[in-house]
């Protein structure tokens, strides 16, 4: 396993703004590396004690005053990266953070690359690759459900499962090696059925973990809820009302929505990804036709569809129009209920974006329908495959176990050759966790990290 200092630039002390750029109460500058303390001292921090906030009048190495700051030193190896880490809390905005960053660079630091702090944490053994990806998932989480799953992954839930699977592959390799070492036995010292059972059980465990990928997709992106109907049916008004903010343009002009607009509403137990689509109708307007084509693509992916209309006839027309375009569960919605106070026995949800009538009941109905249309939620401490890299690695391991089983059952290959499939499966799982000796996997993981993390 590589260490941070074996990589190009690994001996450098790096610096970055760890908080969002722009106007704010405070900003945090993070330093990591062997020279972090000496750089902090060059800026005026002469009396630092590990894990204790120290107030410092920051100055540029050339003597110019910078800010009144609080500095905390996290001594190696008990820090985020495993190296000495210094965090400088200063006033936010544009000018002060830029000046302090420039001062750190003048004192000997190098601007950090995206994800370089977390990359060093992985290489220094503070976390594995799966946990590092959980850091990014936690930052990018758009729902409480995904936030909880990212925390579970950061705590090592998925890592422990992958390590256990890798250990099972190693144990199976050991059984094969023992069988190879005693060829004089008629049936071998290990019964072939035992090896078959162990390999089949491992393959099934890999398949079970792979099957959690759709669950993770729902938790990350939300259940796709498409709002469909004719022009001027109140779709955009309903979209805004469900979200509680104005995201879609609302006008009395038919065909205003020319493209799909989407937003995620964080709900329990599942987030909902609402999509406001162009009105469904025949039109000669080329741009509007393109919008309707986009609507059709979303309908094809939808898990829930709100069939909207201002009248029973509109709802019926919408339902007929979407029947061949979606396999999602359809909820009929009578919009503009405030303009029609007459009682009705029709099995639809009557709502008003103007008064809020029926919106809570509609959301509850969407929640129930989403649960019925989606894959099962994880139970308790269940871990999920949250990234394509995880899915791809597990699929490789699963396929290699399948090939091994076919070779073992048929006896078409000698045991040492069949065991190559086990080696490949083990390496695929090792790459997932980060038990690697090359940089290519690390580059793929940290390419999209934010600077400062």
Residue 417, token pair as written in the block:
């050759």
pTM for the model: 0.74
Query: Which of 132, 134, 139 has the alpha carbon at shortest distance from 117?
Result: 132
Can you give the pLDDT at residue 161? 92
Distances in whole angstroms, Cα of residue 345 to Cα of each of 20, 47, 314, 355: 53, 77, 16, 21
Give the lowest-confidence range in 145-149, 209-213, 433-437: 433-437
pLDDT reading at 453 higher than 80: no
Please list, in sequence order, all residues whose beta carbon lies within 8 angstroms of the beta carbon of residue 13, skipping any fewer than 6 positions away: 31, 32, 33, 34, 35, 36, 39, 108, 109, 110
Q: Are 432 and 415 in contact (CB under 8 A)?
A: no
pLDDT at 182 over 90: no
State what percent of residues in the chain have pLDDT above 90: 37
Question: Are 445 and 431 a contacting pair, CB within 8 Å?
Answer: no
Tell me, what's the pLDDT at 143? Answer: 83
Q: Locate 432 and state its tokens.
A: 């997932």
CATH class of the domain whose range is 134-212+383-433? mainly alpha
Q: Which secondary-structure segment (H or E) carries 411?
A: none
pLDDT, average across residues 159-175: 90
Q: Say which residue, 258 or 294, is predicted with more confidence.
A: 294
C-beta of residue 420 within 8 angstroms of C-beta of residue 176: no
Q: Say if residue 183's pLDDT is above 60.
A: no
* Rounded Cα gap, residues 92 and 19, in angstroms: 9
Query: Over the stretch 109-137, which tens digit does the pLDDT of each residue have?
Result: 999 999 999 999 998 989 988 998 899 88
Given CATH 3.30.365.10, say whether it is the number of domain 219-373.
no
CA 23 to chain centre: 27
Q: What confidence tens digit (pLDDT) does each residue in 206-255 have?
A: 999 998 888 888 888 888 999 988 877 788 888 888 888 655 444 343 44
| C-alpha to C-alpha distance for 180 and 138, rounded to whole angstroms | 47
pLDDT higher than 90, residue 371: no
C-alpha span between 391 and 326 (Å, rounded): 27
The Cα 268–Cα 264 span in angstroms is 12
Residue 297, pLDDT > 90, answer no
Domain map (residue ranges) of the chain? 4-128, 134-212+383-433, 219-373
Query: Whole-number mean pLDDT of the chain?
Result: 83
Q: What pLDDT is stored for residue 377 in this prediction?
A: 59
Torsion of CA 202, 204, 209, 214, to 10 degrees: 160
Residue 257 pLDDT: 47
Tens-place pLDDT, residues 326-345: 888 989 999 887 776 555 55
**Confidence at residue 444, expressed as pLDDT on a 0 to 100 scale:** 64
Distance between CA atoms of residues 127 and 122, nearest Å = 5
The dihedrals phi and psi of 7, each to the nearest 5 degrees, come to -90, 155
Q: Which pLDDT belongs to residue 254?
A: 42
pLDDT for residue 36: 96
DSSP alpha helix (H) spans, 272-414 = 286-301, 312-323, 359-373, 388-410
The CATH architecture that domain 4-128 belongs to is 2-Layer Sandwich (3.30)
60 close to 42: Cβ distance less than 8 angstroms: no
Helix (H) or strand (E) holding 380: none
151-to-133, 134, 163, 375 alpha-carbon distances in Å: 11, 7, 18, 21
3-state secondary structure of 17: strand
Kindly report the number of other CB atoms within 10 A of residue 148's CB atom.
14
Asked if the domains at 134-212+383-433 and 219-373 fall in one CATH topology, the answer is no
Pairing of strands 22-32, 14-17: antiparallel
In the 8-state DSSP scheme, what is residue 338?
G
């Amino acid at each position: 396993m590589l260490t941070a200092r074996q990589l190009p630039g690994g001996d450098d002390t790096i610096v970055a703004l760890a908080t969002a750029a722009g106007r704010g109460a405070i900003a945090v500058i993070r330093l990591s590396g062997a020279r972090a303390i000496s750089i902090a001292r060059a800026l005026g921090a002469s009396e630092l004690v590990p894990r204790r906030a120290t107030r410092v009048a920051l100055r540029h190495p050339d003597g110019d005053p910078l800010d009144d700051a609080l500095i905390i030193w996290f001594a190696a190896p008990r820090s985020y990266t495993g190296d000495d880490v210094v965090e400088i809390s200063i006033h936010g905005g544009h000018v002060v953070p830029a000046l302090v960053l420039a001062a750190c660079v003048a004192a000997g630091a190098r601007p950090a690359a995206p994800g370089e702090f977390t990359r060093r944490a992985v290489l220094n053994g503070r976390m594995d690759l799966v946990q590092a990806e959980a850091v990014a998932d936690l930052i990018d989480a758009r729902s409480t459900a995904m936030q909880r799953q990212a925390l579970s992954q950061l705590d090592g839930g998925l890592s422990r499962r992958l390590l256990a699977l890798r250990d099972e592959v190693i144990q199976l390799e050991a059984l094969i090696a023992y069988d190879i070492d005693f060829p004089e036995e008629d049936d071998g010292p290990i019964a072939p059925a035992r090896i078959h059972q162990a390999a089949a059980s491992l393959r099934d465990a890999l398949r079970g973990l792979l099957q959690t990928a759709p669950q993770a997709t729902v938790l990350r992106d939300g259940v796709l809820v498409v709002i469909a109907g004719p022009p001027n049916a109140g779709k955009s008004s309903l979209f805004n009302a469900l979200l509680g903010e104005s995201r879609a343009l609302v006008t009395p002009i038919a065909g205003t929505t020319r493209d799909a607009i989407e937003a995620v509403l964080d709900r329990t137990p599942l987030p909902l990804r609402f999509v406001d689509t162009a009105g469904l109708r025949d039109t000669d307007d080329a741009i509007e036709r393109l919008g309707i084509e986009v609507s059709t693509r979303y309908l094809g992916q939808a898990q829930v569809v709100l069939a909207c209309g201002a009248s029973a006839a509109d709802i019926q027309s919408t339902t007929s129009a979407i029947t061949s375009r979606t396999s999602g569960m359809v909820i009929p919605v009578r919009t503009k209920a405030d303009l029609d106070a007459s009682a009705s026995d029709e099995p639809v949800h009557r709502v008003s974006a103007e008064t809020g009538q029926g919106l809570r009941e509609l959301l509850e109905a969407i929640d129930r329908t989403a649960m019925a249309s989606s894959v099962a939620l994880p139970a308790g401490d269940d871990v999920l495959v949250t990234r394509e890299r995880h899915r791809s690695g597990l699929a490789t391991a699963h396929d290699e176990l399948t090939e091994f089983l076919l070779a073992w059952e048929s006896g078409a290959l000698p045991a040492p050759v069949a065991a190559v499939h086990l080696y490949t499966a083990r390496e695929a799982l090792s790459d997932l966790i980060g038990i690697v000796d090359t940089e290519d996997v690390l580059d793929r993981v940290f390419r999209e990290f934010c600077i400062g993390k």
